Amino acid sequence: MRRMARYTARQGQGAQATDPAAAAEMRALTDLWTTRAREAMQAGVAADSPAADAVVADVVAGWLPSGANNNAAVTSDGPDARSLLHEQLTAAAEPAVERFWQLLCILGGQPAPASIAAEGQWLTTALRANPAPGTRDSRLEALYAQDSDPWPGGVLDAFARVRDTVGALVRATTPEQFSLPTPCEDWTVRDLLDHLVWENIIWGGLAQGAPPADGHTEDHLGADHVAAFETASATARAAFRQPGMLDRSFGPAPGRRVAEQLLIELLVHGWDLAAALGGDRDLESDIARAALPVVQEVYGELPRTVGGSFAPAVPVPRNAPALDRVAAFLGRRIPH
């Protein structure tokens, strides 16, 4: 609370605290950013992805003319606006501050608002990953301009091998193991299997020009998890093998990068599944060796914070298997 008090005094916002009009404006602004963040979360938009930039832009557009923007020199969306908004959200994100705000609402005759911690984490991460409009897109465009295929046998053959290896793990998984925890925080084995199916659906659909209409929160396993994976991954594989697909453009990315993204998803989540089941995690070691510099290049600059896609990288022994090294870079704790 002392930190919040110092911040409020420094920003000169004390007068607004007792101003009904200012309080109403702040409630409206809070409703705006929590709604936009919640919608993005429900749609499966990662806070550290380029897709989050549009959400950040909407929130900044609502924040700029409000009383929360106490810097008259900040009049448009850009690094200064996003930095100041991030500073304000970070200061307000402390649990004690949220509880204090809920108490003030009750004392003022208003219902206590529900917790907005998850939405705040999402938006602060999105602001870190997108510190200026188009930043993440620009980085990826520069990366995609380096159009080479580092995968053993080419990306399609590497994808087919990983798909078959992960498919064997899926077939070996029994419903009795569905409730086991996984290295993915808060996910059970069933959650992980569902995500594996969803990744095939979304990337295969994108390659076919028909992204799925349902969301990532739907149940994609049904009663037969093996059939669900086999169908979705076979469809994705067929979509990737369409003539000319690897050379088509998907926004700034060539088609090869679409196939590569699903390859990496299956490889890393295959490691998650093997770890959860207590099996051999050293999957497709030559492909895993090729994957490490790719994931370092694509994900290396992302913020490793709560609300982000990855936890901070963890150390591994020099002689660790290649896929353990990939998993550790992406924040997984390596089982002993």
Residue 123: give the domain boundaries.
2-139
Question: Considering the domain boundaries, does residue 334 fall inside one?
Answer: no
In this structure, the answer to whether residues 111 and 234 fall within a common structural domain is: no
pTM of the entire structure?
0.69
In this structure, the answer to whether residues 150 and 40 fall within a common structural domain is: no
Give a three-class secondary structure readout of the chain. CHHHHHHHHHHCCHHHHHCHHHHHHHHHHHHHHHHHHHHHHHCCCCCCCCCHHHHHHHHHHHHCCCCCCCCCCCCCCCHHHHHHHHHHHHHHCCHHHHHHHHHHHHHCCCCCCCCCHHHHHHHHHHHHHCCCCCHHHHHHHHHHCCCCCCCCCCHHHHHHHHHHHHHHHHHHCCHHHCCCECCCCCCEHHHHHHHHHHHHHHHHHHHCCCCCCCCCCCCCCCCCHHHHHHHHHHHHHHHHCCCCHHHCEECCEEHHHHHHHHHHHHHHHHHHHHHHHCCCCCCCHHHHHHHHHHHHHHHCCCCCCCCCCCCCCCCCCCCCCHHHHHHHHCCCCCCC
Question: Considering the domain boundaries, does residue 74 fall inside one?
Answer: yes
In this structure, the answer to whether residues 50 and 20 fall within a common structural domain is: yes
Tally of domains in the chain: 2
Amino acid, res. 70? N
User: Where residue 192 falls among pLDDT bands split at 50, 70, 90?
Assistant: very high
In this structure, the answer to whether residues 293 and 167 fall within a common structural domain is: yes
- pLDDT > 90 fraction of the chain, expressed in percent and rounded: 34
Question: Considering the domain boundaries, does residue 336 fall inside one?
Answer: no
Place of tokens 């999402």: 122
User: Where residue 231 falls among pLDDT bands split at 50, 70, 90?
Assistant: very high
In this structure, the answer to whether residues 8 and 55 fall within a common structural domain is: yes
Write down which residue in 112, 139, 166 finishes a domain: 139
324, 291 contact by CB (below 8 A): no
Q: How many residues does the chain have?
A: 336
In this structure, the answer to whether residues 152 and 130 fall within a common structural domain is: no
User: Where residue 289 falls among pLDDT bands split at 50, 70, 90?
Assistant: very high
Amino acid, res. 68? A
In this structure, the answer to whether residues 259 and 205 fall within a common structural domain is: yes
CA distance 251 to 196: 24
Place of tokens 């963040």: 37
Question: Considering the domain boundaries, does residue 313 fall inside one?
Answer: yes
In this structure, the answer to whether residues 193 and 283 fall within a common structural domain is: yes
Kindly state the tokens that stand for 47: 């806070």
How far, rounded to the nearest angstrom, does the alpha carbon of residue 262 sit from its chain's CA centroid? Answer: 15
Task: Give 28-35 contacts, CB < 8 A, sequence gap 24+.
Answer: 29/62, 29/63, 29/66, 29/68, 30/113, 30/116, 32/58, 32/59, 32/62, 33/59, 33/62, 33/63, 33/119, 33/123, 34/116, 34/119
Model confidence over 306-316: pLDDT tens digits?
Answer: 666 677 788 88
Amino acid, res. 326? V
**Res 286 pLDDT > 90:** yes
Calculate mean pLDDT across residues 203-232.
Answer: 85
Question: Considering the domain boundaries, does residue 172 fall inside one?
Answer: yes
**Res 272 pLDDT > 80:** yes
Write down which residue in 122, 139, 156 finishes a domain: 139
Calculate mean pLDDT across residues 237-266.
Answer: 88
Calculate mean pLDDT across residues 279-291.
Answer: 94
Question: Considering the domain boundaries, does residue 81 fall inside one?
Answer: yes
Question: Considering the domain boundaries, does residue 82 fall inside one?
Answer: yes
Calculate mean pLDDT across residues 250-271.
Answer: 89
Q: Domain holding 190: CATH number? A: 1.20.120.450
Question: Considering the domain boundaries, does residue 69 fall inside one?
Answer: yes
At 90 the pLDDT is 80
Out of 26-35, 167-176, 197-206, 242-251, give the one with best mean pLDDT: 167-176
In this structure, the answer to whether residues 264 and 193 fall within a common structural domain is: yes
Model confidence over 121-143: pLDDT tens digits?
Answer: 888 888 888 888 887 777 777 77
Write down which residue in 124, 139, 154 finishes a domain: 139
In this structure, the answer to whether residues 253 and 105 fall within a common structural domain is: no
In this structure, the answer to whether residues 109 and 229 fall within a common structural domain is: no
In this structure, the answer to whether residues 160 and 304 fall within a common structural domain is: yes
